[in-house]
Amino acid sequence: MGSPMKIRASLSGETADVKVLMRHDMETGQRKDASGAVIPAWYIQEVTVALNGKAVVTAEWGAAVSKDPYLALKVKGAKSGDAVSVTWVDNKGDTRTDETKIA
């Protein structure tokens, strides 16, 4: 399991601005270590953002996404105090879920 995500969610009218920084090494499987051995692929495959438990965005990612990916999105129909959760699953089966409240 990775380090906790940094999630910020602020309200502007009825739209929430959600910003997420995910901690993950995101290896492509094409780099080599100091001894010349290939570093195995290890990357986030699926990201789901939910508002009060209902999925509002599902994204499928691949090995081309950078280390510690950043995701920003706007969610309509949000209210102050609503829960925003972000879940990722990587190609090794590891998963992480973190949540915040909209300020």
Tens-place pLDDT, residues 36-91:
999 999 999 999 999 999 999 999 999 999 999 999 999 999 999 999 999 999 99
Which pLDDT score is estimated for 1?
63
Domain locations along the chain:
6-101
Greatest pairwise CA separation for the chain in angstroms = 55
Q: Tell me the Ramachandran region of residue 30: left when phi exceeds 0, alpha when psi lies from -120 to 50, beta otherwise.
A: alpha
Residue 9 has pLDDT above 80, yes or no: yes
CATH assignment, 6-101: 2.60.40.10
Q: How many degrees, rounded to 5, is the angle at CA 37 between CA 33 and CA 40? A: 85
Q: Which residue has the higher pLDDT, 5 or 3?
A: 5
Label residue 6 by pLDDT band (50, 70, 90): very high
In the chain, where does DSSP find H-type helix? none
By CB atoms closer than 10 A (0-12, 13-18, 19+), residue 91 is middle
